[in-house]
Amino acid sequence: EPEVTQTPSHQVTQMGQEVILRCVPISNHLYFYWYRQILGQKVEFLVSFYNNEISEKSEIFDDQFSVERPDGSNFTLKIRSTKLEDSAMYFCASSRRRGGLDEQFFGPGTRLTVL
Amino acid sequence: AQTVTQSQPEMSVQEAETVTLSCTYDTSENNYYLFWYKQPPSRQMILVIRQEAYKQQNATENRFSVNFQKAAKSFSLKISDSQLGDTAMYFCASLNYGGSQGNLIFGKGTKLSVKP
């Protein structure tokens, strides 16, 4: 059964460093999402992406964040200069169609630890 | 702003028994979807069940069913004949139908432990 994959499973970085989190969505899906979950808190929406551009983003998704689909299979989230408060689980998701019309399939997450 | 509240951080149930997880939400929209996602330990979130707000009939998926009370903005999940494999975090989520590209609004989750 096809699934969303994410690498790495755990990333440790120093404050101020750039990190790139990678996701491979399900191959026939057209909509891609990033969510994050700070330990003990809610899963929060960051950004959605369709047709090679951002469809929607939350207030969390500031200028330090960017997303890209560099090669037609990977979907990446870049944090340019990490802060301590960026430590969280980051989940990638994909769906065939928009929103609730189709299920969003989630990856296993990348745990980002900023020291 | 849309919010989803799960008031039970942790619950436990004996194998083969029934458990109900609570969820309330707040939205000003008329058209929306509600979901329950399951996240087993160290595994990805998977969709358990989905309810479209315009449908009055409660959704059912095998041992999982919901009690959707639109006026009360309540969306509880009932798990019948609980199995050890049901042990997981359960997240309630909502999504507005309409202009949004589909970002889910999640609750904080309920950690369910099924005991043998």
- Give the model confidence (pLDDT) of A65-76 as tens digits: 999 998 878 999
Chain B residues in contact with A90 (beta carbon < 8 A)? none
Amino acid identity, position A98: R
Q: Which two tokens stand for residue A107?
A: 């990856």
Instruction: Let me know: does A13 contact A82? Beta carbons within 8 Å.
Output: yes
**List of chain A residues whose C-beta atoms are within 8 Å of the C-beta of residue B101:** 31, 48, 50, 55-56, 98-99
Structure token digits, residue B53: 């707000």
Which of B44, B46, B91 is the closest to A43 by Cβ?
Answer: B91
A23 interaction partners in chain B (CB closer than 8 Å)? none
What are chain B's domains? 3-115 (2.60.40.10)
Q: Cα separation of A56 and A65, whole Å?
A: 13
Q: What token pair was written down for B13?
A: 């149930």
CB B114, CB B84: distance < 8 Å: yes
pLDDT, position A99? 58
**DSSP codes joined into one string, B8-21:** -SEEEEETTS-EEE
Q: What is the pLDDT of residues A36-83, one digit of tens each?
A: 999 888 899 999 999 899 988 999 999 999 999 988 789 999 999 999
- Average per-residue pLDDT in chain A? 92
Neighbour count for residue A28 (Cβ, 10 Å): 8
User: What pLDDT score was predicted for residue B99?
Assistant: 56
Taking CA atoms, B100 is separated from A80, A91, B57, in Å, by 27, 19, 25
Beta carbons of A91 and B43 less than 8 Å apart: no
pLDDT of residue A72: 79
CA B61, CA A81: separation in Å to the nearest integer? 44
Instruction: Tell whether the model's pLDDT for residue A106 goes beyond 60.
Output: yes
Q: Which domains are delineated in chain A? A: 5-98 (2.60.40.10)
Q: What is the dihedral of CA A103, A108, A112, B3, to 10 degrees?
A: 30
Distance of CA A80 to the CA centre of its chain: 14
Q: Which residues contact B55 (CB under 8 A, 6 or more apart)?
A: none
- What pLDDT, on a 0 to 100 scale, did the predictor assign at position B30? 79
CB A23, CB A33: distance < 8 Å = no
Q: What is the pLDDT of residue A100?
A: 58
Q: In a mutagenesis test of the A interface, which of B44, B54, B105 is the best target, namely the one with the most A β-carbons within 10 Å?
A: B44
Interface of B with A (CB under 8 A): 4, 32-33, 35, 37, 42-47, 50, 52, 91, 93, 95-97, 100-109
Structure confidence at residue A101 as a pLDDT band (50, 70, 90): low
Per-residue pLDDT of chain B (116 residues; tens, 9 = 90+): 789 999 999 999 999 999 999 999 998 887 889 999 999 887 788 999 999 988 889 999 999 999 999 999 999 999 999 999 999 999 999 987 665 556 889 999 999 999 99
